Each structure stands twice: as structure tokens, then as C-alpha cells.
Amino acid sequence: MVTSIDDFELAQKVANGDRSAFNELMRKHEDRVFGVCLRILRHREAALDATQDAFLTAFRKVGQFRGDSSFSTWLYRVAVNTCYDHLRKQKRRPTSPLPEDHDPADPAAGDPLEAAELRPDLAAALAGIADEFRSAIVLVDVEGLSVKDAAQILEVADGTIKSRLHRGRRQLAQILGNRTDWG
């Protein structure tokens, strides 16, 4: 794929100290990285922080990118790991109680900008499934990556991704209204 070859050359330039090449890589990938982070973390500020951290790590580690996978796969792996770190930190942090009238399905309840971008039904449904299922669904169903690429990014076997997709889609569909009882 031409894009991957270009990205590999850009990554090599970055490793040799060419910062403008990193700027180009950022501009090519920052929206998708942000999209992945936003869907995994479900919070705009956290997603922006994670995007920044992911690119910072990518900049520091770009010399380790050997082109075995596409640059975007490698970058997504960095981003997803960064999001997992943010999630772990979130879970340890004490949370403030929500106001009594808070309704997560109500777009007016959250950040209006976020509500405009993440439809409340899908956002709430994604929030209702386990992190590992959500990551698989975000990468494959939302971002359109292959099972193989998602497996590389999440560092699990292809079969694990398929299993997570299967279970995650089942839960997501049930939340979204397709309450199929499999018996």
C-alpha cells in the first residue's frame, strides 16, 4: 500500500531527526487516533490527552518501528495502550456522584460538542460494554480495520478478536434494542 510505504519513509526521517516528517505523520493520523481514543475513553478531554500522549510515545519510539506492520497499525497499538493506561488511572480515581437528574442517554446531559459527535444511543451502548469488547468493536467495526490488524494492535490472537467481536456485538446490539434471546 502506497500510504504505508510513505509512512515508513516518514518514520525513518523522524528517527533521523526530521521533525517536519513527524508533523506530516501527525496530520495524516491525528483525527483517526483521536477518534479511537474518544470512542474508547468516551470523554473528550481524556481523548485529547491520550492522543497527545500517544503521539509523544510514538515520537520517542519511532526508531523502533521497523515496518513489519503498517505505521497506522503500530500507531494504533500505541494509542490503544495509552487509552488503557488512562482507563486504569480513571478506575482508581474517586468519582464524583452524578446529579440526580443525570441521564447518560440525554445529549443535553453531557458535553454538547461531544453529544453532537457521538450519538447518545451508540455512545451509551459503547459505554455499557467491557473495555476489551469496546476496543475490538471500535477498531474493526468503527475504524474498519481487519481482524488481523486489530489483533496486532491489541496484541492478541485473531481468534480472540473474533470472540470479542462476537460477544461485544451481541451486548451492543442488545443495548441498542436488538434484544435477541439466544436461549
> Interface with other proteins includes 132 (CB under 8 A)?
no
DSSP 8-state symbol, 107 = G
Q: Which is nearer to other proteins, 70 or 125 (CB)?
A: 125
Residue among 150, 132, 151 nearest 141 (CA): 150
Which residue type does 138 have? Answer: V
| DSSP code string of 19-67 | HHHHHHHHHHHHHHHHHHHHHHH--HHHHHHHHHHHHHHHHHHGGG--S
State yes or no: residue 146 binds other proteins (CB under 8 A): no
d(CA 147, CA 135): 12
The residue from 3, 5, 102, 119 that contacts other proteins (CB under 8 A) is 119
Give the H or E element holding residue 123: helix 120-127
Part in contact with other proteins (CB under 8 A); list of ranges 1-9, 15-23, 68-76, 94-102: 15-23
Q: Are 105 and 133 in contact (CB under 8 A)?
A: no
Closest distance of CB 180 from other proteins, Å: 5
The piece of 2-10, 68-76, 95-103, 174-182 that touches other proteins (CB under 8 A) is 174-182
Residues of this chain, 93-112, that bind other proteins according to CB under 8 A: none
Q: Give the residue from 113, 136, 139, 109 showing the smallest Cα distance to 124.
A: 109
Question: Which parts of 38-97 interact with other proteins (CB under 8 A)?
Answer: 38-39, 48, 51-53, 55-57, 59-63, 81-82, 85, 88-89, 92
Q: Give residues in contact with other proteins (CB under 8 A).
A: 14-17, 19, 23, 26, 30-31, 34-35, 38-39, 48, 51-53, 55-57, 59-63, 81-82, 85, 88-89, 92, 113, 117-119, 121-122, 125, 137, 141-142, 155, 162-163, 165-166, 169-170, 172-173, 176-178, 180, 182-183
